[in-house]
Amino acid sequence: MSQSNLELAKPVDSEAISPRALGYVTENARAEVFDLVVRNCIESGISNALLAKRMGKDPAQISRLLGAPGNWTIDTIAKLLFAIDGRFLNVDSYWPEDEARANMRHATCFVEKAKLNVVIVRYNAPRRPVSKRCLSWTN
């Protein structure tokens, strides 16, 4: 099957992969790594200030890192995970067509904290799910 007919088809021989497909793959990887780090922060209950102190960084640097998915290095990801709760990075790969596909999007996971509600919403989408983080203040 031609790469141009199916954006996320497996690479074939010497056929060029579209920049759009490569962009999707890299953005999906960034979002998954970001979700992993944020989920570990929430589960451990660590504050940005404590994480900054453990890593020997300024709290503003940690806030910027955890503010949105970025172009993190593997070293940065490993340091963040270890500083949060001593975890090591475990990497795996998969074929997108092997993932279960959903015919509609709906929230499947919510995590809340007191005072500042941090909600992680995982959407079941036709491709690998990507979670989005929402912040809301409670009265």
What does each of the 139 residues of the chain score in pLDDT, given as a tens digit? Answer: 444 434 566 788 888 888 888 898 899 899 999 999 999 999 999 999 999 999 999 999 999 999 998 889 999 999 999 999 999 998 888 777 676 666 555 444 444 444 444 444 444 444 444 444 444 444 3
Q: Provide the 10 A C-beta neighbour count for residue 133.
A: 18
Residue carrying structure tokens 């504050």: 47
Q: Are strands 116-122 and 131-137 parallel, antiparallel or unpaired?
A: antiparallel
Q: Provide the 10 A C-beta neighbour count for residue 11.
A: 10
Residues whose CB falls within 8 Å of the CB of residue 58, separated by 6 or more in sequence, listed in order: 52
pTM above 0.85, yes or no: no
Q: How many CA atoms lie within 13 A of 110 on its CB side?
A: 6
Structure tokens at 28: 């999906």
Residue carrying structure tokens 């999906």: 28
